C-alpha cells in the first residue's frame, strides 16, 4: 500500500483502434492515442485520460514528458489548486487534474460532483458523429445512424452544401449540428450557412479559422454558430461575444474539469449556449466531462462509440443515451 504521505505518480501512452476511420477537414486517423495519468495514495488510485491534439502543437510524447515534469513539481503536495502554476491549459493538465479529482473522490468516499458542489449529472443524449467524406459516403453512413436523435456532421469546405443536403435526406427526423473544423472561408461563409439553414441545421461549429473569424460579426447568422478552436479557457470568452452564439468546452483544451466548470459558469453569464465536446478517446476521457452536462444545450461525448473497443467499466451507452460514470471508472 502506498503511504498516505508519499503519492505515487505514473503516466503512459495508450492506443485504441477506431472502428474504421475518423475523418475531419484536417485529416483521417484509425486509432485514438491517449495519455493516462495515475496518482496513488493511501490505497487509492486516481486516473485521468487526455488526448493530445496536433492542432495545438501537442504530441503524446511531449504530453507524457510534461506530465512527468509536473508530477515531480507536485510531489509531496499533489493538489488541484497548484496545477494552474505548474502546467498551462492543455491535454497534460487535463489528465492530471482529472486524476487528482478522482483520487480525492475515492479518498473521501464521495462522488466528484458532490466534492465540487455541482449538480449530479443525469443520463442525456449525445451527438453521434458522421465523418467527412463524399456526399454519397456520408449519406450511406447517415442511413445507418438515422434513428439517432442528434447527429454531428463533419464538413470540409468545397462541396459542403451537397454533403449536408445528402445527410438531411437520409435523416429527416434527426437534429443536425455541423462542424466545419475551420474549413470555410469568408467568401463561402454566407452560402454555406444558408445551405445549413435550408435543411434545418441547428448549430454550425467553427466555420472559419481561429483568428480569422471576424466575418461572423459582420453578417446576419441564420444558424447559431459555435466556437471550438477559437475558444480555450475563460480568458478567451469575452472577445467572442459578437461572433458566436455558443462555445464548445473540451477538457483537453481547457486543461481539466476544474477550469472547464469555471468556464461554463462564465460563458453562461455572458449569454453563450454551451456544448460539451470531446476528442476521440475512451470512457475515461468522457467521464469527467459528464459533470458539465447539466449546463449544456448540446452534448457531444460519443468518443467511445467510435472505437473498436472501450476500456473496462466504460460509460453505459444505450443508443445515443449516455449515463454518468460508475465509481469503478472515475469520480
Catalytic residue set: 154, 250
d(Cα 168, Cα 86) in Å, to the nearest integer? 47
Question: Looking at the DSSP assignment, which residues form a beta bridge with residue 150?
Answer: 175
Scan for cell 450557412, then name that residue: 193
d(Cα 292, Cα 250) in Å, to the nearest integer? 10
d(Cα 142, Cα 169) in Å, to the nearest integer? 9
d(Cα 134, Cα 215) in Å, to the nearest integer? 27
Q: Identify the three-state secondary structure at position 176.
A: strand
Q: Which helix (H) or strand (E) holds 8?
A: strand 8-24
Q: Identify the three-state secondary structure at position 216.
A: helix
Q: 156 is written with which cell numbers?
A: 470540409
Amino acid at each position: 500500500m502506498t503511504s498516505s504521505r508519499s503519492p505515487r505518480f505514473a503516466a503512459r501512452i495508450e492506443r485504441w483502434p477506431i472502428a474504421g476511420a475518423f475523418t475531419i477537414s484536417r485529416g483521417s486517423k484509425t486509432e485514438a492515442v491517449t495519455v493516462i495519468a495515475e496518482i496513488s495514495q493511501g490505497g487509492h488510485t486516481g486516473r485521468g485520460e487526455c488526448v493530445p491534439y496536433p492542432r495545438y502543437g501537442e504530441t503524446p510524447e511531449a504530453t507524457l514528458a510534461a506530465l512527468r515534469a509536473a508530477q515531480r513539481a507536485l510531489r509531496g503536495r499533489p493538489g488541484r489548486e497548484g496545477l494552474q502554476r505548474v502546467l498551462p491549459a492543455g491535454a497534460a493538465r487535463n489528465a492530471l487534474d482529472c486524476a487528482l479529482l478522482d483520487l480525492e473522490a475515492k479518498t473521501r468516499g464521495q462522488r466528484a460532483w458532490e466534492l465540487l458542489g455541482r449538480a449530479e449529472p443525469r443520463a442525456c443524449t449525445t451527438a453521434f458523429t458522421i465523418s467527412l467524406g463524399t456526399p454519397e459516403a456520408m449519406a450511406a453512413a447517415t442511413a445507418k445512424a438515422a434513428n439517432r436523435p442528434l447527429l454531428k456532421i463533419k464538413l470540409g469546405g468545397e462541396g459542403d452544401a451537397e454533403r449536408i443536403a445528402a445527410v438531411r435526406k437520409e435523416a429527416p427526423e434527426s437534429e443536425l449540428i455541423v462542424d466545419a473544423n475551420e474549413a470555410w472561408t469568408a467568401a463561402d461563409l454566407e452560402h454555406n450557412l444558408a445551405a445549413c439553414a435550408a435543411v434545418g441545421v441547428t448549430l454550425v461549429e467553427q466555420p472559419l479559422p481561429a483568428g480569422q473569424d471576424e466575418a461572423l460579426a459582420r453578417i446576419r447568422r441564420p444558424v447559431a454558430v459555435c466556437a471550438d478552436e477559437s475558444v480555450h479557457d475563460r480568458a478567451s470568452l469575452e472577445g467572442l461575444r459578437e461572433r458566436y452564439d455558443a462555445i464548445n468546452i473540451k477538457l483537453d483544451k481547457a486543461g481539466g474539469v476544474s477550469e472547464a466548470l469555471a468556464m461554463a459558469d462564465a460563458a453562461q453569464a455572458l449569454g453563450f449556449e454551451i456544448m460539451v465536446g470531446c476528442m476521440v478517446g475512451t470512457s475515461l476521457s468522457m467521464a469527467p466531462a459528464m459533470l458539465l452536462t447539466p449546463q449544456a444545450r448540446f452534448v457531444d461525448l460519443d468518443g467511445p462509440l467510435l472505437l473498436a473497443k472501450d476500456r473496462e467499466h466504460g460509460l453505459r451507452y444505450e443508443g445515443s443515451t449516455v449515463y454518468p460514470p460508475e465509481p469503478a471508472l472515475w469520480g
